[in-house]
Amino acid sequence: MAPTDEVATIRQDHKASKRIFSKMRWGLIPYWAKDASISSGTINAMSETAAEKPAFREAIRRRRCLVPADGFYEWKRVVSGRKQPYSIGMADDGLFAFAGLWDRWKDPAGKVLESCTILTTEANALLKDIHDRMPVILSPDDYDSWLDPGETNPAHVADLLKPFDARLMGVYPVSSAVNSVKNDGPECALEVQPESSRQAKLF
């Protein structure tokens, strides 16, 4: 998935005690935005400041969601100056869910568009060598609390927005095929030897 693509989301119905699955555009467009261009800078939201930022402060109070995934990618700069991509997920290859926010925007023609963002936090011990930030991954035990429409105080869910347990996660290098959104096959997630290791064998 790339920014502006549709991603899967799960949210709690405010009127009925059930959860709703829907697809939303990745890159949050606040309900008050004049146009959709703002979404290019809102694919992620820092959990530490989301409650203060105009684009996110209403959503974190009233429109929280889950963004299910089976992995994500991050890039690390290597000796050559290029960036080595890594696939990151659960150690058991299981599904998980990011903490997300969503909003509903209406364009000038009256068309309604729902969009979302993924919250980030500081990197855990497994990922800090690759990047200083990581998406907020919620424990399944915390899904109810995060989705609770009755909880409108961001401070009461702030403790959920922490680095996920590194011991439950796994990471491995993948090829540069993932660098292009044109590549959308299993080759993007195949493990390879990292570039730094390949270079070492030349000397």
User: Could you report how far apart the first and last alpha carbons of the chain are, in Å?
Assistant: 38
Is the pLDDT reported for residue 197 higher than 60? no
Within a domain: 40: yes
Residue in the structure block whose two tokens are 């890039």: 75
Q: Give the integer Cα–Cα distance in Å for 125 and 123.
A: 7
Within a domain: 124: yes
Within a domain: 23: yes
Q: Which of 71-75, 167-171, 198-202 has the lowest mean pLDDT?
A: 198-202
Domain CATH code at residue 192: 3.90.1680.10
The proportion of the chain whose per-residue pLDDT surpasses 90, expressed as a percent, equals 84
Token couple for 19:
């959860």
Segments forming the whole domain that contains residue 152: 6-200
Within a domain: 18: yes
pLDDT at 176: 92
Within a domain: 1: no
pLDDT at 86: 97
The proportion of the chain whose per-residue pLDDT surpasses 70, expressed as a percent, equals 96
pLDDT at 110: 93
pLDDT at 198: 46
DSSP 174: B
Within a domain: 191: yes
pLDDT at 14: 79
Is the pLDDT reported for residue 93 higher than 50? yes
Within a domain: 63: yes
- Number of helices (H), then strands (E), belonging to the chain: the values are 3, 11
**Antiparallel, parallel or unpaired: β 112-122 and 44-46:** parallel
Note every long-range contact of 197-200, with CB atoms under 8 Å and residues 24 or more positions apart, other chains counting: 199/78, 199/79, 199/80
Is the pLDDT reported for residue 196 higher than 70? no
Q: How many domains does the chain fold into?
A: 1
Residue in the structure block whose two tokens are 């990292």: 194
Contact 62, 31 (CB under 8 A): no
Contact 14, 193 (CB under 8 A): no
pLDDT at 202: 35
C-alpha torsion angle, residues 21, 149, 120, 172 (rounded to 10): -40
Q: Give the integer Cα–Cα distance in Å for 173 and 193.
A: 7
Q: Kindly state the helix (H) or strand (E) to which residue 199 belongs, with its residue range.
A: helix 195-200
C-alpha torsion angle, residues 115, 121, 127, 128 (rounded to 10): 140
Within a domain: 192: yes
